[in-house]
Chains A and B, each alone.
Chain A
Amino acid sequence: MTAGMRVLLAVMLSSLVVASVNIALLAAGRGDWRAHPLNPAAAGSETWGRRHPSIADRHGGALFQSARGGQEDAGGVPDREGGTLRRLIDWNVEAPGNAGASTTLDGRLQTAAVGALGSLSGVVVIVDVHTGDVLALADQTGPGSGPLAAWPPGSVMKLLSLGVMLDRGLIGPETTFPYEEAFLGIPNAIGACGGTVEEVLGTSCNSAVVRAGRRLAYEDLQRAASKTGFGTPEMLGIEPSRLPSPNDVDETTWPLVLIGQHEVRLNPLSAAVLVAAIGDGGRVHRPQLDATATTPTPTVLFSTDTAEILLEGMLQAASQTLGIKDPEIAIKTGTAESGLGYDHGWVVGLAPATKPAYAFSVVLPGEPGASYSGADAAEVAARLSEDFASGTGNN
């Protein structure tokens, strides 16, 4: 072998060894990438499950048991893809690596949420009204969409619009809206409607909301919306809730914004946070999934009076939608038009209705060939209601 070939051989071998050793050092822990907050494995319940005998829920029960222990499904909470809490890999971004194996999730509620969805493609989020703890997070929208995507909210948005209007004094408990079939060209789904704020919510009356909302400032709506997670930065594919920019809002589109159309997008987590605030007298809690994290101080979204009015409106909505005189849950449905020939079905609610402990949101995103309405989502809520009533959700 010539000297040149020897040099070449030495250079090639040393380069290969150096490059391989660099990769090996990464695998051995250099850089501490394993515990990086953006590492899906570090944050994900599923991978915790591989490193720990089990992942505990808030009661100490096993949410996930190690596959290596041969008990993958025992006590685990399934999702539609056959995995166990698979989608949480992408979601839980704040929990620290190994220490964060204790989550706020409630295994029984998580199972109830997955069961309520059944074979439907959708999302169910349940949060603790008084702490903001995420108790269940069932995302069965499939791999095609990101975890917790945001969709047009439809009439669910009226809770926020009317709440801000009540707080700003634009309307009040004494306000009575005229009965009319449409206002500014926006019709009502049920024909003529009006009456008190509670009745407007109960019948999901578009004309009343649009009429009152003419005097509402964009900035006031935006300020309140931001407290429920609107406009937060996107992270790990979680799509933030958002309002259209002020430049995209004019006299024609503003009424549509008030009723949850025209570029308004709502994340089911934000929806649950919004309705939880109504259940907690207007106080909004930042959602938490890490049981070891300190509970943040709540901020005020609505006044107590406003929250009570909205809760009463949701009770009326529950009566009308579910056909029950004294419903055990308070809900608000929404049917959002996509403009593509299919609709998205929404429902948000509180349980128990008289003394809310749980806030939930359900969204059934439409797609070509599959259109959903608020009534469809309400059926999921009704199944959840049975679980709440049967004690599944009792702590």
Chain B
Amino acid sequence: MTRNPGIEALVLPTWAACGGALLAVAGRSAWRRIPLVRWVPGLVAAATALAAWSSERGLYLVLTTIAVGLAARRSLRVAGSGLQRAIAVSALCLVGIGMIFQTRLAGPDNGALLAMIVGIGCIAMAHRISAAAAWAVERPWLLVVVGLALYAAGLAGGAGASRTEIPFVLRGVVVAEAARFAVVGGIAVVVVRRRWAWQLSAARSEMAAVALATLGAMVLIGLTGDIGGGVLLAFGATVIVAVLIERVWPVAVGGGVMLASAPALLLVSDHVRERLGSWQQWTVDGKPTQQLLANFAIADGGLLGQGVGNGDPRTVPVVESDFVVAGLVNEVGIVGLALVSMMLIAVVAGGLLVASRSLDSRLAGLAAASCVLLGSQAVVNLLGVGGLAPLTGVPFPFLSRAGTYLVVTCLAVSVLVGIPCGSATNTSRSHGRRIVGGGEA
């Protein structure tokens, strides 16, 4: 087997750095009390340079490590609270691990590298991204128009669905994800904010928002056929509404509507029928399916994996994309999966906590929906890879190579990191104004 000692040498210090950084951001005091932590970026850079010396892919990994290190340093400064710092560092660790595994599994890719640098750049400038999001949320109709324009451009690009592309400008899923999020979220915000203008009662306004958000998502699903992404976005939209009106029932209603629509989708969509038919199908014409090979790769991983660079997860076709978790488990085992899951949970759960403490209700909705989007994408992906649900083509956040999807993911994290929020016990909300502890900031 062709082994790559360079990558192997790189990964261990990277994992160590991830763990150290997580420990460091557990609190400001801990960060200051552990002097070695200050040297982690330098140590990682040195290890990376050593690895690059013997690795043909070293340049990409050096750039990854330097970029993640710089972004971590910057985001630790701009993040408003310890919780937000933990979110930033967890996300950046996941980005770094994802980039390393993608490079290991599928080789270097300039587009992926660019997407990563743009994505982590967003996290490093989280406060500005958050401010831009607040500005955009104030103009929901603009969101809808921009979303529809992106959609039109994406569909004109030819690929459609979650792999929509605009040649030479945007690649991968960013158009579809951003467009749907903008359209559905924009409609929801518009309805809630306009209830007074339309002289609707609060209850009717809420119901209209949920109905419109769900309907908008279903229409977009119908237009593009991307069932998995559409369902998740619709769910995210209902979460926006739920947070805005501080009720939980929109989420239940939205989920119920989507579940109820499943039989209809089965009837009208060949693609859905095909996906459902191929669920738990292990061979086609005597050849093992991607699902079966993924099961093998996972099973061969065991507790500790076969070692980075020592496994053979590439027996799974396109393993670096939707099945990246199978490749991860094959090489770093259950332990690696647990670490990745913990980091993801830190982002999702931490993000929901940040949303609950947010000082701006509209950004709170956006933050909560971002968390739901990330979490549910991970769940749908893991269920599909693990064979508990049909495959939907939804990538795993941060780790999968899926074009500019990483940019959207990092934008969502930027909102979580940069959103103004108060303490857990002393927070009140206002539209567009920060009020902390009863005073105005």
Binding site for B on A (CB under 8 A): 1-5, 7-9, 12-13, 15-17, 19-20, 22-24, 26-29, 31-34, 36, 38-42, 46-47, 50, 67, 81-84, 86, 89, 233-237
Contacts and interface: CB of A to CB of B under 8 A. Distances in A.
Contacts of B285: 234
B274 interface: no
A218 B217 CA distance: 60
Contact of A234 (B286, B296, B372): B286
B242 A46 contact: no
A23 B296 contact: no
Interface residues of B, number: 60
A383 B118 CA distance: 58
Q: Give the residue among A20, A27, A67, A81 with the most B Cβ atoms within 10 A.
A: A27
Contacts of B352: 5, 8-9, 12
A47 B300 contact: yes
Contacts of A86: 1
B388 interface: yes
Contacts of A15: 375-376, 379
Contacts of B338: 20, 24
Q: Give the residue among B2, B243, B285, B286 with the most A Cβ atoms within 10 A.
A: B286
Interface in B292-331: 292-293, 295-296, 298-303, 306, 310, 312, 315, 325, 329
Nearest to B248: A4
Nearest to A26: B298
Given A1-B356, A16-B345, 10 more contacts: A2-B356, A13-B348, A17-B345, A22-B382, A23-B329, A26-B386, A27-B299, A29-B299, A33-B295, A236-B286
B154 to A, nearest CB: 28
A260 B3 CA distance: 42
Contacts, number: 154
25 contacts: A5-B368, A7-B248, A9-B352, A12-B371, A13-B349, A15-B376, A16-B344, A16-B378, A17-B341, A20-B338, A20-B341, A22-B382, A22-B388, A23-B385, A24-B338, A26-B298, A33-B296, A38-B283, A39-B296, A41-B312, A50-B306, A83-B1, A89-B312, A235-B287, A236-B288
Interface string B391-431: 00000000000000000000000000000000010000000
A236 B300 CA distance: 18
A46 B310 CA distance: 11
B339 to A, nearest CB: 11
A234 B287 contact: yes
Q: Give the residue among B296, B306, B310, B378 with the most A Cβ atoms within 10 A.
A: B296
Contacts of A50: 306, 310
Contacts of A34: 296, 299-300
A1 B243 CA distance: 11
A8 B383 contact: no
A386 to B, nearest CB: 31
Interface in B238-278: 239, 242-243, 246-248, 251
Nearest to B251: A8
Contact of A12 (B286, B325, B334, B372): B372
A9 B383 CA distance: 19
A86 B383 CA distance: 32
A362 B301 CA distance: 37
B117 interface: no
B348 A16 contact: yes
A23 B328 CA distance: 11
Given A8-B372, A40-B315, A81-B2, A28 B334 contact: yes
Contact of B386 (A22, A39, A82, A83): A22
B248 A28 contact: no
Contacts of B386: 19, 22-23, 26
B302 A5 contact: no
Contacts of B372: 8, 12
A33 B246 CA distance: 46
Contacts of A81: 2
Contacts of B312: 40-41, 47, 89
A27 B348 contact: no
A8 B239 contact: yes
Contacts of B185: none
A89 B355 CA distance: 50
Closest 6 CB pairs between A and B?
A4-B248, A19-B382, A33-B299, A1-B356, A12-B375, A22-B386
Given A12-B375, A22-B388, A24-B338, A236 B368 contact: no
B248 to A, nearest CB: 3
Given A41-B312, A46-B1, A47-B312, A27 B333 contact: yes
Contacts of B288: 38, 236
